[in-house]
Amino acid sequence: MSYNNLQSNHSKRVTMNNLISLLTAIVGPGYIFSSNEQVAEYNLGTFPHKNNNKIVIKPANTAQVQQIVKTINQYNLSNDDANFSISTVSSGKNWGYSAQEPSFDNAILMKLSRIKELTNYDNKQGTITLTPGVTQQDLYDYLQEQGGKFWMDATGSSPECSIIGNTMERGFGHTEYGDHFNNVCSFEVILADGSIINTGFKQFSKNGVVPVAADCYKWGIGPYIDGLFSQSNFGIVTKMTLWLMPKPEHFEAFFISIKDEDKIADLIDALQPLKLNGIIKSSAHIGNDHKAIQALSFYPWKKAKNQTPLPESIKNTLKKKFMVNAWSVSGAFYGTKAEVKVWKKILKQAIKDVTTDIKFIDQSTLSLAIKLKGVLSLFTGIDFNTNIPLLEKVFRLKQGIPTNYFIPSTYWRKKTPPKTIDGLDPTQDNVGLLWLAPIAPIDGQHVKKMVKIINAIQIKYGYEPGLSITLLTERTLDCVVSLVFDRDIEGEDVKALACHDEMFESLTNEGYFPYRLSSHAHEAYNKIDSSLIPQLKKIKHAIDEQNTLSPDKYGI
Ligand SMILES: Cc1cc2nc3c(=O)[nH]c(=O)nc-3n(C[C@H](O)[C@H](O)[C@H](O)COP(=O)(O)OP(=O)(O)OC[C@H]3O[C@@H](n4cnc5c(N)ncnc54)[C@H](O)[C@@H]3O)c2cc1C
């Protein structure tokens, strides 16, 4: 290393140490980490990534977030050789898309998990205001404490995931409120210069009077800009109003199966009008056999004699053992008893030419199944002891009850299955997981085409194509492709990324673009033409000239 390089490294360290002193004064010494050992766990991931965090800071409240942003921004402005940027996560469990890795190198990771506040619960309108540290479990517990008049929507990820974190990535769950970004309003946002803004009606006040409908009405007056803060780097959301679902008079889940995998297009087309006309309001999920097997067991390395992908004969044995079909739909009806009765009849009629395998499950049927699972297993040879708990968790998710039941499915390819479910963190166990989630209109032919592309590529690379198709909105479905591998096996990282890239390329070539990006997919995404991104970059430059907040995130 030359003398000049040594000098510049030295001055960088001095600059960084100065900044750390200023930040420590804001949060206190217990909430800022900068040694390699301390920061290492925040740089773990479920697939290789290029960029790393250098410093981690955990503010206790919004005022501290504001001070941190201001301090870093001003530090950059007043020091010619300083260039520090913040990457924000709420709970940092965006497993399979990113963990806590930044979109740029040498980041200051700001983790907002300490900021937990649930306020303004309106038990008439079903609205509540929350901060980034509020997790699915926190919200569920709070609503139960309030009497359970309203239900939340939960994802299949950890109960410890942040509601705001998921919403900012436009994630989705299972109920009628499953499209998360659709059911929020009135953000409080901190911008790169440290200023605070509110969106929607909450931006206004007249002599101290705020619009009375601020938590109920999305659009406010003037431009609607909430979307600018999702999947972006324009600001840090520190508060958000969430809309809740009234607990229905009657709830019934439905489960539909088909044995013939080629009938998926017919099944989608049979469900499509019901989604469009509002008979099916929940986000119905349609999983393939691999997805179900991965939720019910771990890779049978011994039986498969270490061969991958899963041999067809073993797959068929597992399907029999757990009573798994080629495709299984799960959804739910929320309404009065009379309404649900009518909707059940309409659904049965709509799918009758495709399949008659449809089951409606209410609480009493579920309780009976749980009670009888042992006896049923004994007399049928089917492992109901394993598949009824899965049914139960899916049923509960449709009632907005978070669970960590599905996290072990990401350990499918590990040679040693996890010993416990509680507190599982796939990044700590070198689990390989990479999602790719293309969107299409609800149309059987599109699904057929996507499935064909995905299956061919995943099998070619030696993986089992685990697919979950969600009827997300009235008109669109989302096909979540899971690429599950074991990072402890040499060569798997490289192979999995190549498999992902080929799927990304082939799917986007046919018009199937993802609804959300993993940190790995950013590179391929940046090669796609956009008429908007150049203009978004201009806005970014205008409000964050120093690039203080997450440079390059989503290409901005
Ligand atoms: C088994 C399994 C099942 C899963 N099921 C689902 C599912 O059903 N639905 C689903 O959507 N996902 C699912 N996921 C993916 C993921 O775990 C969840 O989406 C999770 O909620 C995201 O992580 P988080 O809540 O910790 O968000 P974070 O990691 O905190 O945030 C995610 C991203 O949002 C942005 N962000 C976070 N906070 C803020 C803020 N305050 N202001 C501005 N931007 C911010 C940042 O870019 C951040 O990287 C699943 C994952 C696994 C492993």
What DSSP string runs through 183-237?
GEEEEEEE-TTS-EEE-GGGG--BTTBPPTTTTT-S--SS---GGGGSSSSS-EE
241 CA → ligand 1 middle, Å: 18
Segment 324-337 shows an average pLDDT of 97
Find out whether the beta carbon of 469 lies less than 6 Å from any atom of ligand 1: no
171 CA → ligand 1 middle, Å: 7
Find out whether the beta carbon of 90 lies less than 6 Å from any atom of ligand 1: yes
Segment 318-339 shows an average pLDDT of 96
Helix 444-460 / helix 264-276 crossing angle, nearest 10 deg:
130
Q: Is the pLDDT of residue 3 over 50?
A: no
* pLDDT confidence of residue 420: 86
Cite the DSSP H helix spans in 410-513. Answer: 444-460, 492-509
Ligand 1: which of 44, 53, 64, 94 to mutate, judged by most atoms within 8 Å of the beta carbon? 94
Q: Is the pLDDT of residue 267 over 50?
A: yes
Find out whether the beta carbon of 165 lies less than 6 Å from any atom of ligand 1: yes
Ligand 1: which of 46, 164, 169, 236 to mutate, judged by most atoms within 8 Å of the beta carbon? 169
Q: What does pTM read for this prediction?
A: 0.95
Average pLDDT score, the chain? 94
Other residues' Cβ atoms within 10 Å of the Cβ of residue 194: 17
532 CA → ligand 1 middle, Å: 25
Pick the atom of ligand 1 nearest to 46's CA.
Answer: 53
* pLDDT confidence of residue 284: 94
Q: Which one has a higher pLDDT value, 68 or 11?
A: 68
**pLDDT tens sequence across 64-100:** 999 999 999 988 888 777 789 999 999 999 999 998 9
523 CA → ligand 1 middle, Å: 20
Segment 213-228 shows an average pLDDT of 96
Find out whether the beta carbon of 168 lies less than 6 Å from any atom of ligand 1: yes
Contact 159, 166 (CB under 8 A): no
Segment 300-312 shows an average pLDDT of 96
**pLDDT tens sequence across 357-370:** 999 999 999 999 89
Q: Is the pLDDT of residue 376 over 90?
A: no
Q: CB-based burial of residue 428 (10 Å sphere; 0-12 exposed, 13-18 middle, 19+ buried)?
A: exposed
Contact 58, 31 (CB under 8 A): yes
* pLDDT confidence of residue 443: 98
Segment 31-48 shows an average pLDDT of 96
Find out whether the beta carbon of 187 lies less than 6 Å from any atom of ligand 1: no
Highest mean pLDDT among 18-22, 125-129, 382-386, 524-528: 125-129
Query: Reading across the β-sheet that carries 196-198, which strands appear in turn?
Result: 118-122, 127-130, 236-243, 184-190, 196-198
Q: Rounded to an integer, what is the distance from CA 437 to the centroid of its chain?
A: 11
Find out whether the beta carbon of 95 lies less than 6 Å from any atom of ligand 1: yes
Q: Is the pLDDT of residue 156 over 90?
A: yes
Q: Within 13 Å and on the Cβ side, how many CA atoms surround 281?
A: 14
* pLDDT confidence of residue 24: 97
Segment 412-421 shows an average pLDDT of 92
The residue whose CA is least distant from atom 48 of ligand 1 is: 89
Find out whether the beta carbon of 169 lies less than 6 Å from any atom of ligand 1: yes
* pLDDT confidence of residue 10: 57
pLDDT above 90 as % of the chain: 88
Pick the atom of ligand 1 nearest to 97's CA.
Answer: 15
Structural domains in the chain plus CATH codes: 3-113+545-555 (3.30.43.10), 118-246 (3.30.465.10), 250-523 (3.40.462.10)
